[in-house]
Structure 1
Amino acid sequence: MTDFHHKARKRFGQNFLIDDGIIARIARAVTPNANEQVVEIGPGKGAITELMIAGCPSLKVVELDRDLIPWLKVKFERYPEFEVIAADALKVDFAALAAPGKPLRIVGNLPYNISTPLIFHLLSFVGKVQDMHFMLQKEVVQRMGAEPGSKTYGRLSVMVQYWCAVEYLFDVPPHCFSPAPKVDSAIVRLTPYAKPKVAAKDHQVLQELVTAAFSQRRKTLRNTLKQLMDVEQIDGLDFDISRRPETISVDEYVFLANTLVDLRQSSQS
């Protein structure tokens, strides 16, 4: 099949992967099989798709660029189970794409301009997902796996690490793409825990607390908590509230969020 000449569109954050070695390395990291349901986000011209679909003929792809969709359907027409979902990944119900009895695996070269909100959207489906492999801006991957106390540790680190084990796989330099981005990229594997190491009583409260903390990361926890509880409750906490948000571990955020849930429930009773 002749190559499809499609100019990458900035509004879709498109950077097409063109390095055969990197493409093969990503496919090997995933190594899908026919007993799994793989969903690829942003297949572009199908470079990674082509190496995965032989192992997983029921592959589904989510593509927003309508000019690419007919090309993808023709390119993979010999696979009758292949499906193109014409949609914005931020609005897709990924749980609905899971097939009965098949582990759901998500793969994607995620557009840099929506990568963080898309990751948060995908975290809402972790109960249905076996693992996720993403190509992202290197700085985003570093933030995902950052440890407390580091400059890159933040809201994304806490929420991703609450739900998933984070594995930094390898770097992808700019010359591997067309057009070449101005930043380095990296491949990450996220493997959801069967259950979080320390369970939050209310995930929305955990997210509320973490968002509030890192919206003013240079201030102490006391300042953050003023938005969420009264002074007497803050002073009664069994926790050092003089610490800054970036020094607090995931488990400690869960402890604080659970304490907040208990305080709210007791005030309502």
Structure 2
Amino acid sequence: MININTKDIVKKYGFKFSKSLGQNFLIDSSVVRDIVEGSNIDKDDTVIEIGPGVGTLTKELSLNCKKVYSIEIDSKLIPILKEEFKECNNVEVIHKDAMKVNFNEIVGENTNFKVVANLPYYITTPIISKLLLGKYNFNSLTIMIQKEVADRINAKPNCKEYGSISILVQYYCNAYTIRKVPPQSFIPQPKVESTIIKLDKLDTPRAYVKDEKFFFELIRSSFNMRRKTLKNALKNLKIPNDIIEFSFKESNIDPKRRGETLTIEEFAKLSNNILNLINN
């Protein structure tokens, strides 16, 4: 296990934190250890890290896997990272916006990879969505995120946390909580608790869906107006009312239910039945 020297590196280079980039760097070695151990990476693994900061997690990853591609958007951190890892042959620092890169191209089109990161809070949901919907060759995603988002990811039907992100993640992955992380584990300290969560991608999605794009449109419509019944919430899909009503009947779903009560399988059934009626 490495010695955490985040504060020393920040001081050495006179680095100033950017609030707009959501920079909170780890200073707790036990958290770094738990992220790496929880990710189950080994010497044959290729890892993509998003938002390496000054490289605290990067260093530990480099000691435990074959190759680390660290993607950093902040131009002020690039020379720091390149200097700190100039003698580390299996770390490649990439100065890009992670939301604008093709991860498959970075690692090689036929290479499977794992994502391990202390994600800035503001890009958590966009990055998860990008990875899941972009058909990337990743096996697992081990990330530290805001506790509130982790709770939503793990949520089950019939609770306020359950929503579109819950279904998106659970449709594609098994989710595991590794541990909670207090604000004191970072500099500067965030105002909220964090959670380390691991998402293992399923070989096939959790339910059969004829058209994933429509499936997720249906889900978003169902949660955009949570207080409305499904029948009213789905009106903005511009689908004839008779098709919607018959689809509820075929799916054995009460149209007076709300979206937050439906399982993934029920959403899949409703989505498929609507498409069947539209196409017939």
- Bin of the TM-score, shorter chain as denominator length: over 0.9
Change (3 A) 1:127 1:90: closer
Cα offset for 1:102? Answer: 4.5
Cα offset for 1:126? Answer: 5.0
Q: Does 1:249 align with 2:255?
A: no
Moved more, 37-46 or 91-100: 91-100
Q: Does 1:230 align with 2:240?
A: yes
Unpaired segments ≥5 residues, structure 2: none
User: Which letter does structure 2 place at the counterpart of 1:233?
Assistant: I
Structure-2 separation of matches of 1:100 and 1:77: 26
Q: Does 1:175 align with 2:181?
A: no
Cα offset for 1:124? Answer: 2.0
Structure-2 separation of matches of 1:125 and 1:189: 19
Structure-2 separation of matches of 1:232 and 1:243: 18
- Contact 1:95 1:125 survives alignment (8 Å): no
CA deviations on 1:178-216 (whole Å, 9 max, x unpaired) are 010000000000011100121211111111111111100
Q: Does 1:96 align with 2:114?
A: no
| TM-score between both structures, scaled by the size of structure 2 | 0.90
- Contact 1:36 1:102 survives alignment (8 Å): no
Q: Does 1:259 align with 2:273?
A: yes
Unpaired segments ≥5 residues, structure 1: none
CA deviations on 1:123-157 (whole Å, 9 max, x unpaired) are 12455111000110000000001000011000110
Q: Does 1:122 align with 2:122?
A: no
Alignment-derived partner of residue 145 in structure 1: 154
Change (3 A) 1:19 1:30: same
Alignment-derived partner of residue 202 in structure 1: 211
| TM-score between both structures, scaled by the size of structure 1 | 0.93
User: Which letter does structure 2 place at the counterpart of 1:52?
Assistant: L
Q: Helix, strand or coil for the counterpart of 2:196?
A: strand
Cα offset for 1:101? Answer: 6.1
Structure-2 separation of matches of 1:108 and 1:130: 14
Cα offset for 1:263? Answer: 2.7
- Contact 1:31 1:55 survives alignment (8 Å): no
Cα offset for 1:57? Answer: 4.2
Over the residues paired in the alignment, what is the CA RMSD in angstroms? 1.7
Cα offset for 1:16? Answer: 0.6
CA deviations on 1:216-254 (whole Å, 9 max, x unpaired) are 011010012222221111221222111001000111111
Q: Does 1:47 align with 2:56?
A: yes
Q: Helix, strand or coil for the counterpart of 2:65?
A: coil
Structure-2 separation of matches of 1:14 and 1:250: 35
Change (3 A) 1:261 1:235: closer
Structure-2 separation of matches of 1:197 and 1:223: 27
- Contact 2:113 2:139 survives alignment (8 Å): yes
